[in-house]
Structure 1
């Protein structure tokens, strides 16, 4: 896939912005840059300021690192020249994220504390302890309980102080549907798919994956046109298992990072938890516990269905399935389109290695949804296909 921005230039630029921001916020304090946290979205680096450990996040034009390196924001000279103006805007991505973290804390949710923001860089205090993903794989039998407790903790999102902030500075670009429409729309979407996997896959595999992904996207574009389910509510918006920490262990309350507050349908946060948990299960199947994790996912979703009437529950399941597939397609294609010079998180590399199994799951479940089968039966079959994908 064509790359117009060099990874070394991007890294040097972002590290310099992080140091400049730290100097402006804490003048006279010694700063020591630490390890980079590999990511396909924002540039994240550890830093010590006056001996205080922090995470620093730098966003270039609010776009993913993959998009920037592929030239979606223009040449590197253009990106670098316009970054200062972008970072100073009150609508810049990390300005909104900082405001959301403050609103969530005020609303009573345990979140990473924003330590400061300057020059397009957001500094947050680190959260220690296992993530939701860690706990699910360590204690598969607790999957349903942990997922359910995570989602119930987010009931505070509907409180006025949080809802007002979500409406004032929504991060809609982190939404599943918005990402799907942006990535796979029109000529740019076709060009994107033409180059998919060229830097990461062998030619034979790349060709087969491209065919399946095109077919899946065509189905999902048709399926997502169905009416939206019920009134919108405030969503966390980027509810990945690795964004949820349990500093006190599995018995303690969860702590959240990287919000993407926005309005959307009730199923969307649950769908992202399902999508990313299943994707991790396929990418790195545990020696044992796969069945327990999938049963836990099933129990978690059935918990959401319990207060609903049968017809509404069926519609919820169908929407959740479509959104699950959209999210998995979004992130898998991002990993596949990452330039060779961009370091991938360990999980992302594992997804690329198992991409044929991921594509098989996407193909089978999307075909099932196109057949308009009974939603409950479709859900059971989807979990069955997920189980088979972990064994390939």
Structure 2
């Protein structure tokens, strides 16, 4: 496709990326099914890959496309260079073995071999476009909102469904998978903040967010201090390849259909233990509670999170419990800073999901929580007392009685 002068010299913008991606997806689907009627739906809000629904005759599929393996926010902020640079690099990327959508397609096959957790079915993979079928039920995020008093049971069920993946069977099968290590919590955190450009990135947070400038500056300062602390806590994260983890375990990626759960969007990789999955699930659920407009519902969600975390900790041998809890908490803070900074960096025109919009609106509260909790982790306190203090800090910062 010929680029205009403007496209050769300008950075990517949401409208341009949207239009080109839809043409790519449409061509791929029509190439797969030339005799079928193809209708693209509206994009699903995403800050990572481009995702949209697509109708192929009478069936609705989910289409996913990745630009350079980067988040859409990074591409739109110029991390890949000009739009010409991005388009040229994308041609080589689509031919590489590192293509994220290709690895996800393979990992879905591996997870289906494992059998548990249940994952979405792959309809096709072609020209970098991953097409998956819809799964039944409603998201765990919606279930937590609708049934906050059942939070503990819902989170326990999601983690229990990963038992085989976290065990010996998962380790054996991951040998045939293609790990997406760059989507790990610690990997994303280090890539964002352990570089010369990190300070520039942090100072620019929220410039297009609509937050008042005095609030934005306060958020930036709180996040900066948190990042500096967490970088020094990297030693708390277990090294090694002992356990396979789902990798992107958040409430929007788990669907509840009665007693059955289905999982979407895996980022399977190796970890030193199941800590990343636990940390991301409880951390993203906590954000739902903090941003919930109903204080009572938020209280119930937080209580359920605390009970799940306590149950998970109690299953760890007593001598290892303090280190286990510290690692989960460090990863929780890293993941929260990752998603907060990404949402605050989203440019105008890139749609955010409602819960991401709520996170931006509550950025000062969330930044205050990660700052205060990271301060706790610099001390020597450990075990149940530390966990009690963590939730006390959440209560103090939000002004809510959990």
TM band (smaller chain): over 0.9
Aligned equivalents of 1:195 and 1:119: distance in 2?
35
SS in 2 for 1:23: helix
Equivalence for 2:21: 14
Q: Cα 1:11–1:350, aligned 2, differ >3 Å: closer, same or farther?
A: same
Q: Indicate the SS of the match to 2:199.
A: helix
Report the CA distance between 1:306 and its aligned residue. Answer: 2.4
Find the aligned partners of 1:260 and 1:212 in 2 and give their Cα distance. 29
Unaligned runs of 5+ in 1: none
Q: Give the alignment partner of residue 220 of structure 1, picking from 221, 224, 230.
A: 230
Report the CA distance shift for 1:168/1:101 in structure 2 as closer, same or farther (over 3 A).
Answer: closer
Contact (CA 8 Å) 1:166, 1:234: kept in 2 or not? no
Structure 2 residue corresponding to 1:180, chosen from 176, 189, 197: 189
Give 1:159 deviation, angstroms: 5.3
Alignment of 1:160-309 (within 5 A): 160=169, 163-165=172-174, 168-200=177-209, 201-226=211-236, 228=238, 232-246=242-256, 248-249=257-258, 252-264=259-271, 265-309=273-317
Count of residues in correspondence between the two structures: 387
State whether residues 117 and 123 of structure 1, in contact with CA within 8 Å, keep that contact through their aligned partners in structure 2: yes
1:53 pairs with 2:63:
no
Distance 1:328 1:161, change over 3 A: closer
Whole-angstrom CA distance in 2 between matches of 1:283 and 1:163: 40
* Cα distance in 1 for residues equivalent to 2:239 and 2:309: 16
- Could you say which residue in structure 1 is the equivalent of 2:145? 137
Question: Judging changes above 3 Å, is the alpha-carbon distance between structure 1 residues 45 and 356 closer, same or farther for their aligned structure 2 residues?
Answer: same
Kindly state the Cα deviation for residue 227 of structure 1 after the two structures are TM-superposed: 5.9
Q: Cα distance 1:161–1:354, how it changes in 2: closer, same or farther (>3 A)?
A: closer
Say whether the 8 Å CA contact 1:106–1:161 is kept in structure 2.
no
Report the TM-score when normalising by structure 2.
0.92
Task: Classify 1:166/1:122 alpha carbon distance in 2 versus 1 (closer, same or farther; 3 Å).
Answer: farther
Structure 2 residue aligned with 1:24, among 28, 31, 34? 31
Secondary structure of the corresponding residue to residue 170 of structure 1: coil
Shift of 1:287: 4.5
Superposed CA RMSD? 1.8
Task: Determine whether 1:333 maps to 2:341.
Answer: yes
> 3-state SS of the aligned residue for 2:51?
strand
Higher mean alpha-carbon deviation, 298-307 vs 355-364, is at 298-307
Which segments of 5 or more consecutive residues in structure 2 lack a partner in the other structure?
A: 1-9
Structure 1 distance, partners of 2:175, 2:185, is 16
2:109 maps to 1:102: yes
Structure 1 residues 79, 253: CA separation in 2 closer, same or farther (over 3 Å shift)? same
Name the CA shift for 1:318/1:187 in 2 (closer, same or farther; >3 Å).
same
